[in-house]
Amino acid sequence: MRLVRYVSLALVSLALAVVVIFGLLCLYIDYYARQDLAQQADAVVVLGALVLPSGRPGPDLTTRTEHAVGLYQAGLAPRFICAGGVRDDAGSAASVCRSLAISLGVPEEAVVLADGSADTEEDAHEVAMIMSQHGWQTAIVVSHPLHMYRAKLFFEKEGLVVYTSPTTTDVDAIPLPWRTYYTIREGAGILWPYLEQAGFPPDWTAALQKWVYAGP
């Protein structure tokens, strides 16, 4: 009976620790969603988002690109990197972002494509490879608010210095149920690669990945 009690206590303690750690993770997600940390950097980076079947940028990609263009035009970075989408696909998020940025006044020669990626972790890797080739080390990363902390972690993992700049810091404008949902989903997006590396069943981590990237 004593052994059963010790095992039960250990399991409860573990569960509480997981809840506390995930709660702290959610607080970090919320904190970075509310902070625009943009400052002078080697490049401003737009993370990919939905491209409509017509080939036009979806609402998120439009908002991200417009926000990044504002940072570029404010003189915070001399280069504009568009990430996301399959390489050589004319409809990739990166290529659509590039076209929109140029139409908004960013010089064509200032825009760099970092496509060939399918998720945030791959975006960070593709961008980091390009920046490394040119000796660039600092980046203003632009995405929607609740995505910022996950993006920051993946880009820093690639050895870059990251200044996050969300499309808006008015997180409270997002209805609480949706804000809670997206925050939890972002937490899962941070954890699933580490669970995968730790040897969790592939079906579990694949299900988490599908949930994170399945859209609203």
Q: Where are the domains of the chain?
A: 35-171
Q: For residues 196, 82, 50 and 117, what is the CA-based torsion angle, rounded to 10 degrees?
A: -30
**Would you give per-residue pLDDT tens digits along the chain (216 residues)?**
666 665 556 555 555 555 667 778 889 999 999 999 999 999 999 999 888 888 899 999 999 999 999 999 999 999 999 999 875 454 789 999 999 999 999 999 999 999 888 888 899 999 999 999 999 999 999 999 999 999 999 999 999 999 999 999 999 998 999 899 889 888 887 876 666 665 656 665 556 555 556 554
- What's 117's DSSP letter? B
Strands of 111-114's sheet in order across:
111-114, 80-83, 43-46, 138-143, 161-166
In angstroms, the CA 131 to CA 58 distance is 26
The rounded Cα 85 to chain-centroid distance in angstroms is 14
CB distance 187 to 22 below 8 Å = yes
CATH class of the domain comprising 35-171: alpha beta
For 91, 123, 140, 144, 145, the CA distances from 64, given in Å and listed in that order, are 17, 15, 12, 7, 10
Which pLDDT value is given to residue 216? 46
Which pLDDT value is given to residue 20? 64
Which pLDDT value is given to residue 188? 80
Amino acid at 166: P
CB distance 140 to 155 below 8 Å = no
Phi-psi region of 72 (alpha: psi -120 to 50; beta: other; left: phi over 0): alpha
